[in-house]
Structure 1
């Protein structure tokens, strides 16, 4: 089931999420719903706070090449346990800040640990777009948005545009 995505500025996007204590069928359904929502948007990552749930859950799939098989991932309680000194710059966007993009510098490689949908501990090194995406989504769990990496002028400009878009969408629904 597709879920509505919260749009910036929304106070829930700035709150830290609680760890998942117990994997329930409800949380697995949430992960499935988030993947459906992410693919429909379309996006490559989505964090639970973006659909109004303050739990440490993210989903991602950074396969973008035509004809390649999707690689959907659901990560419960994801954490970065190591990161490289070497950095990458990617133009990032966010489903909660539609139509706005900016270059963000992040570690090129990250070692990520999480619990999968079956309750098993996983750990994997991620590189390139996968590394950027997982860092972006984990930031959401800590109440941080990609625009928080930008200078104040650029951040304010994007926020003003986001407020305008949010008002336009509210008027369209009315």
Structure 2
């Protein structure tokens, strides 16, 4: 078990596209994934991409949201890709381990399809919606050098977590008034 150092917004590793992994089953990739999971849990976070721990590779781990049954799944993907299913988007508050202490109102597609290689060499393909879709988009953005503030439509919606209570009770429409 190793807890890795998390890169913060402004570090160059977060601003560039990550490199593809040649062998998703390589022992060093399995070790990276184990260390990323340990780091995510320790932080604590809901997801983590390899560039966030100073490793410029296309690897991401995340927990699926609890769909009301108390169950969450740990998903680990190598060389993942995603695409929107339809054009519908919604706005929600997001945070990030690489942007500590801040939250932003971010538009994301409500339904997506994603795929990637598993650490054992198998494939995972899913179509998901809601918070699950949002988490995947957020984590996979890291693999393209994108942090959530770059997705925001208005930087007035970037706030300190300690001040979010003043805004979170309002809908995005009410916040614009």
Residue in 2 that maps onto 1:83: 85
CA distances 1:101-155 after superposition (whole Å, capped 9, x unpaired)? 0111111010001001111122101211110011011110000000002257549
Higher helix share: 1
Matched, 1:5 2:20: no
**Structure 2 partner of 1:131:** 133
CA apart distance, 1:84: 2.4
Partner of residue 54, structure 1: 56
**What's the TM-score, normalizing by structure 1?**
0.83
The ranges of structure 1 where at least 4 consecutive aligned residues each deviate by more than 4 angstroms after the TM superposition are: 64-67, 151-158
Q: Report if aligned partners of 1:88, 1:128 keep a CA contact under 8 Å in 2.
A: no
User: d(CA) in 2 for partners of 1:93 and 1:70?
Assistant: 19
2:115 to 109, 113, 130: 113
Give the number of aligned pairs: 158
Comparing 67-76 with 89-98, greater Cα deviation is found at 67-76
**Which structure 1 segments of 5+ residues have no match?**
159-174
Answer with 61-70 or 17-26: which moved more.
Answer: 61-70
Cα shift at 1:67: 8.3
